[in-house]
Amino acid sequence: MTLAAAIMIFVSLVLAAFAAVTLWWTMHAWRTPETLAGTRFAPPDGEQHLTFSLLLPARHEKAVLEHTVERLLRSTHEAFEIIIIVGHDDPETTEVAHRVAATAPARILVVTDHNEQKNKPRALNTALPYVRGDVVGVFDAEDQVHPLLLEHVDHAFRATGADVVQGGVQLINFHSSWYSLHNCLEYFFWFRSRLHLHAKKGFIPLGGNTVFVRSDVLREANGWDGTCLAEDCDLGVRLSSRGKKVVVAYDSTIVTREETPGSVGALLKQRTRWHQGFLQVLRKGEWRRLPNWRSRMLARYTLTSPFLQAFSGVVIPVGVAIAIWAQLPVLVALFTFLPVLPMAATLMFQIVGLHDFGREYELRIRWHHYAKLVLGAFPYALVLSTAALRAVWREYTGRRNWELTAHVGAHLPAVEGAAA
Amino acid sequence: MTVLELVKPPAPAPVPVERPKNRTDFYVAVSLTTVVLALLAWNITGFPTASDDEGTYLAQAWAVQNGKGLAHYTYWYDHPPLAWIQLAVGAWLPGLIAPSLLAVAAGRIAMLPLQAAGLLLVYVIGRRIGLPRWAAALGLLTYGLSPLFLTMGRQIYLDSFAVVWILAALALALSPSKHLWHYAAAGAAAAIGVLSKETILVILPAVLVALWQNTARSTTRTWAFGSFASGLVLVGCFYPLYALLRGELFPGEGHVSLFGAIQFQLGSRSGSGSIFEGGSGANSLLHSWMYYDSVLLIAGAVATIAGLALRRLRPVTVAGAILILVALRPGGYLPAMYVVQVLPFFALAIAGVLFYALSRLQHWWKWTAIALAVVLAAVVVAPRWYVGDRRALTANDNAAYVQAAHYLRAQPPSTIVVDDVLWLDCVNAGYAEDRVLWFYKLDLDSEVAARLPGGWRDVDYIVSSPALRQDPGTLPTVTALLRNSTVIESFGSADGVIEIRKVVKEPS
């Protein structure tokens, strides 16, 4: 009994510490008004010096591709080209790609990826030899890119001397389902806050799109890792380890808007892929080359945290249930409630975050959205932990193929409606 | 790598310039606190008279120290336990260093670090509501030199813990760096304050005012309130959680409960009458406070009301005003230590109003006002405080208790009925802890009554003190014991006499 109690107390303390650290970092941007001001994108100076090559891998994306390219073409920047990458086995998307390319032949190039095994990093690597711009930008086929974004990025590169600029990405269709609400908020906290901390501490897992890298730096790093399921995270880790300068800039008016996966199953697949990718990056060990101990610890912590988070999201409620029903000694039972503190505080901040999210994106948040947020917290944690378990299982049984997330364009009317 | 810093903040925020750290505030606050603390410590064992409540809380701290739960009798949620849990951390030390002291007197020494924190916090809050050094220092001294503080600040009261924590919450809510975690800590401190003495809950709005003011025109206001609420609720909920885990949250057959206790405190407790009504409990309490220090109470109440008009002072004056309103409510229960919560807010209000009044006057008007204030202080305040403080530093009101404690220590352990003050002295002297009985538990706690199957005849001695004789005839067993016992030793004189009485068991 004493041993069981000691284990309970120990596990509770570890979980509480983990949850507290995660919360501390997640709230980075809002620590003081000064830190919040420091995360904003600077207004551009109106000058344009850089040339951009925007890579747009599209695989079975005929529903959204055209719209995405149209929006990219509306960009206010003068010097950019769009390279659409399609698969040789995907005639429908290829057809759409050629059709939109014909509308702006000087701007758009269609490249065909002949790799037998298709995935995003291989598609991006296929396009790299065709790149002519100073800076490579990556977008996904379903992205809603703001016309002013390139001007901002141009200015950011010049003003900071950065090698990499990570812009903001935001899932916007929070109203679609209970999980999309949580998914949107995850993005909000990640891009609005957490990523800035990573940039500051010198270890940053980059996002999958709206990421801009100087072409020479990218070529020097041999492009993307075609075998990695989280090529974006991997690139960030490799560039961080080489001491490249990464800056993060966020402005709600020019973030790239995206949609959440269309079903819980799709979310599960996507999350499995990310988690497995994180695991691969961890095993590759590039992060060991980071210059100091602190950023190595941050790297280790960040790459393992999806698993810890998944684990604690399930174990904490179970521990509390045990504490209430199993007649533990009162003191031990009180200890099992310790991790609930940061967990409940996280939920409290998510409520505030949802309010802020609505304000920044001029979306109407109703009371039932808050209710969904609270009620959906535990089921969402279940989905994440299932994905984490799946990821571990797949990685150790050698199943490393790419499970694609399908897009139907649920964010498009939402965005149009919000913009109106 | 760095985060993008090319940003121009929307409003041109003042760039923090790295200056050599100015430590003047630190030296001023610490030296003044040291002076007040020395006055507080001097003769702490001799004055004021050890009160029954002090003995109660100290005994409960002893129960916590010795792993006997939250009280050595059934803990019935009369007060949240955090104050005596904190007391338990320090209360064992003085007795170890000076074992010959009366237990309660030794326990008082453990209050000194707490009061030091309170004094420093008064200074910090003064600075954070915009007062210059001299005014913040005046606030500290007004608080610390008041005879009321030098009397009640020495005693072991839960209110002292609560008020220090709520001062901490205020100081954190007014944090100049506006750090999110300071706000969370403010919430946690407020929760600890409430769990130290629940009545401090009424001045929570003052902390909210501070938070509201400090986050005005800030981009992080909603986050600040979320942070504060997290700290407050999450720390605060541990108390009901404790009750829930013990199955004592809701009233039920055969056990105590948190909600039952709350119902009793709010509903069944008899009021002390109106403070304006001569002869009522509340009125005589007010007179006893005024006896110690009328200056701080009157000037503080006036300054509090006047200060409500000044925005920067509002966190402090709202607290003071709420406490005044609560004291004035007709028919409510007013405990003797209530005033402990009032003092720091009154002191800060006086210093604040004085500063803002002076800063609005010009030239010789200003000098006239200063001269007037100095004369008033010298003619009205100083003589009164001199008398009060002198009493605190010289009176020896606990001699009878000390003698009784010494006498009891020399006797072989027996079954003995005492008041709360002497309980711990007996237990420390080796009396079996379940054979030393608080007098009122004999009739009010069935579990204690069960220890005496033969009723009052199972008791060997009873120590009659003023506390025990306070309400004659209300406790049948105590009345029987007093009737069937003879005085074998007595200490002190007149009203304050303490008698050791041997119980005569032969039926007469």
ipTM: 0.85
> Helices B338-360 and B363-376 meet at what angle, rounded to 10?
150
Closest CA to B94 of B83, B104, B81, B84: B104
How far apart are alpha carbons A191 and B419 in whole angstroms?
64
Render B396-408 in DSSP notation, one character per residue.
-TTHHHHHHHHHH
**Nearest C-alpha in B relative to A202:** B1
**Nearest C-alpha in B relative to A42:** B7
Looking at CA atoms only, how far is residue B446 from chain A in angstroms?
Answer: 24
CB of A33 closer than 8 Å to CB of A200: no
Which of B218, B230, B241 has its CB closest to that of A334?
Answer: B241
Cis omega (within 30 of 0) for bond into B48: yes
Amino acid letter, residue B475: L
For A258-272, how does the pLDDT look when each residue is reduced to its tens digit (9 = 90+)?
A: 889 989 999 999 999
Cβ-defined contact of B223 to A248 (cutoff 8 Å): no
Amino acid letter, residue B104: V
Helix (H) or strand (E) holding B105: helix B103-109
CA gyration radius, chain A: 22
pLDDT category at A382 given cuts 50, 70, 90 is confident
pLDDT value of position A412: 59
Looking at CA atoms only, how far is residue A407 from chain B in angstroms?
Answer: 32
pLDDT at A132 over 60: yes
How far apart are alpha carbons B149 and B427 in whole angstroms?
31
Across chain A, what does the average pLDDT equal? Answer: 87
Q: What is the mean pLDDT of residues A342-358?
A: 92
DSSP-derived secondary structure letter, A230: T
Judge: domain A1-420, CATH 3.30.565.10: no
Could you tell me the pTM of the whole model?
0.88
Which 3 state secondary structure label does DSSP give A304? helix
Q: What is the mean pLDDT of residues A56-67?
A: 89
Cβ-defined contact of B13 to A37 (cutoff 8 Å): yes
Q: Taking an 8 Å Cβ-Cβ cutoff, which residues of chain B contact chain A?
A: 1-10, 13, 177-181, 184, 218-220, 222-223, 225-227, 229-230, 233-235, 238, 241-242, 244-246
Give me the phi and psi of B504, to 5 degrees please: -95, 110
CB atoms within 10 A of CB B307: 28
CB atoms within 10 A of CB A396: 9
Mapped to the 3 state alphabet, what secondary structure does B331-396 carry? CCCCCCCHHHHHHHHHHHHHHHHHHHHHHHCCHHHHHHHHHHHHHHHHHHHHHHHHHHHHHHHHCC
pLDDT value of position B13: 45
pLDDT value of position B3: 42
Residues of chain A by 3-state class (helix, strand, coil), percent to 5: 60, 10, 30
**Nearest C-alpha in A relative to B5:** A38
Closest CA to B78 of B444, B344, B422, B464: B444
The burial class, CB within 10 Å (0-12 / 13-18 / 19+), for A29 is buried
B228 is written with which tokens? Answer: 């504060």
Cβ-defined contact of B230 to A349 (cutoff 8 Å): yes
How far apart are alpha carbons A123 and A133 in whole angstroms?
18
Which of B177, B220, B226 has its CB closest to that of A348?
Answer: B226
How far apart are alpha carbons B481 and B407 in whole angstroms?
20
Looking at CA atoms only, how far is residue B451 from chain A in angstroms?
Answer: 27
Residue-wise pLDDT tens for chain B (508 aa)? 444 443 333 444 444 555 667 889 999 999 999 999 999 999 998 889 888 899 999 999 999 988 888 888 888 888 899 999 999 988 888 877 778 888 888 889 999 999 999 999 999 999 999 999 999 999 999 999 999 999 999 999 999 999 999 999 999 999 999 999 999 999 999 999 999 999 899 999 999 999 999 998 888 899 999 999 999 999 999 999 889 888 888 888 878 888 888 888 777 666 677 777 777 778 888 888 988 899 999 999 999 999 999 999 999 999 999 999 998 887 777 888 899 999 999 999 999 999 999 998 888 888 898 999 999 989 989 999 999 899 899 988 888 999 999 999 888 888 999 999 999 999 988 888 888 998 888 888 888 888 888 888 889 999 999 888 887 778 888 888 998 999 999 998 877 889 999 998 876 5
How far apart are alpha carbons A290 and A391 in whole angstroms?
25
Strand A211-214 relative to strand A164-166, pairing: antiparallel
Domain ranges of chain A: 1-420
Domain ranges of chain B: 24-394, 399-503
* CA end-to-end span of chain A: 63
How far apart are alpha carbons A409 and B12 in whole angstroms?
41
DSSP-derived secondary structure letter, A56: E
How far apart are alpha carbons B495 and A15 in whole angstroms?
60
CB atoms within 10 A of CB B31: 10
CB atoms within 10 A of CB B452: 17
How far apart are alpha carbons B315 and B299 in whole angstroms?
18
CB of B332 closer than 8 Å to CB of B271: yes
Nearby residues of B283 by Cβ (< 8 Å), 6 or more positions away: B273, B274, B275, B276, B277
CB atoms within 10 A of CB B250: 12
Which 3 state secondary structure label does DSSP give A137? strand
Which of B177, B220, B238 has its CB closest to that of A36?
Answer: B220
Nearby residues of B235 by Cβ (< 8 Å), 6 or more positions away: A341, B187, B188, B191, B192, B195
* CA end-to-end span of chain B: 94
CB atoms within 10 A of CB A325: 8
Residues of A in contact with B183 (CB under 8 A): none
Residues of A in contact with B1 (CB under 8 A): 199-200, 202, 204, 240, 243-247
- The more confident residue out of A399 and B478 is B478
Which 3 state secondary structure label does DSSP give B72? coil
Residues of B in contact with A38 (CB under 8 A): 3-5, 7
Strand B461-464 relative to strand B498-503, pairing: antiparallel
pLDDT value of position B323: 94
pLDDT value of position B270: 67
pLDDT value of position B174: 96
Helix (H) or strand (E) holding B464: strand B461-464
Which 3 state secondary structure label does DSSP give B440? coil
pLDDT value of position B461: 92
Which 3 state secondary structure label does DSSP give B498? strand
CA distances to A99, A209, A247, A419, B102 from A412, in Å: 21, 17, 28, 11, 78
CB atoms within 10 A of CB B9: 14
CB atoms within 10 A of CB A15: 22
pLDDT value of position A406: 58
Q: How many CB pairs lie under 8 A apart between chains A and B?
A: 116
Cβ-defined contact of A355 to B178 (cutoff 8 Å): no
Nearby residues of A68 by Cβ (< 8 Å), 6 or more positions away: A56, A139, A141, A142, A143, A144, A145
Give me the phi and psi of B97, to 5 degrees please: -75, -45
Residues for chain B: how many in total? 508
CB of B445 closer than 8 Å to CB of B381: no
Residue indicated by tokens 């009345």: B479
Cα angle B239, B250, A16; round to 5: 30
Cα angle A82, A85, A86; round to 5: 140
pLDDT value of position A411: 62
How far apart are alpha carbons B349 and B105 in whole angstroms?
32
Which of A38, A43, A333 has its CB closest to that of B3?
Answer: A38
pLDDT category at A234 given cuts 50, 70, 90 is very high
Q: What is the mean pLDDT of residues A352-360?
A: 92
For A24-50, how does the pLDDT look when each residue is reduced to its tens digit (9 = 90+)?
A: 999 999 999 888 888 876 788 888 899
Amino acid letter, residue A270: Q
pLDDT category at A166 given cuts 50, 70, 90 is very high
pLDDT value of position B8: 38
pLDDT at A413 over 60: no
Helix (H) or strand (E) holding B101: none
Helix (H) or strand (E) holding A139: none
Cβ-defined contact of A200 to B8 (cutoff 8 Å): no
CB of B33 closer than 8 Å to CB of B120: yes
pLDDT value of position A385: 85
Cβ-defined contact of A159 to B6 (cutoff 8 Å): yes
Cβ-defined contact of A37 to B10 (cutoff 8 Å): yes
CB of A194 closer than 8 Å to CB of A298: no
DSSP-derived secondary structure letter, B313: G
How far apart are alpha carbons B111 and B156 in whole angstroms?
7
Residues of A in contact with B15 (CB under 8 A): none
CB atoms within 10 A of CB A301: 15
How far apart are alpha carbons B294 and A80 in whole angstroms?
80
